[in-house]
Structure 1
């Protein structure tokens, strides 16, 4: 199994978790505004980086 593809999948899942947590915090008005924005930005970065790693890594056997 390719290490880059695995790392990309982990980053994608972390990004999704961060985005969901940000959305729930935003809707419930819980937490500091800066914290919510920071988690949202990190979630977006992790998500798109993970997707990019998965898409650009070739399967070589």
Structure 2
């Protein structure tokens, strides 16, 4: 059981969830300033979590 791979998968899942939530907010937005701030914040956090999780999974070596 590799803890880094599990943490990478968790970060990737959180990133995907953040990006999906951003898409849902984008579909329901009316263009107000608060809507745009939420889109930017959740979008950036989703991208950061997703990319860090993917890179953590990629760089972790399989050792038995």
Instruction: From the CA coordinates, give the structure whose radius of gyration is larger.
Output: 2
TM interval, shorter chain, is: over 0.9
> SS at the partner of 1:32?
helix
> SS at the partner of 2:62?
coil
Aligned residues: 61
> Considering only aligned residues, what root-mean-square deviation do their CA atoms show, in Å?
1.3
Scaled by the length of structure 2, what TM-score is found? 0.88
For 1:22 and 1:28, how far apart are their aligned partners in 2?
Answer: 10
Runs (4+) of structure 1 moved beyond 3 Å? none
Listed as ranges, the gaps of 5+ residues in structure 2 are none
Q: Which residue of 1 aligns with 2:8?
A: 8
Scaled by the length of structure 1, what TM-score is found? 0.92
Deviation at 1:17, TM superposition (A): 0.2
Does structure 1 residue 55 correspond to structure 2 residue 62?
Answer: no
Listed as ranges, the gaps of 5+ residues in structure 1 are none
Q: Which residue of 1 aligns with 2:40?
A: 37
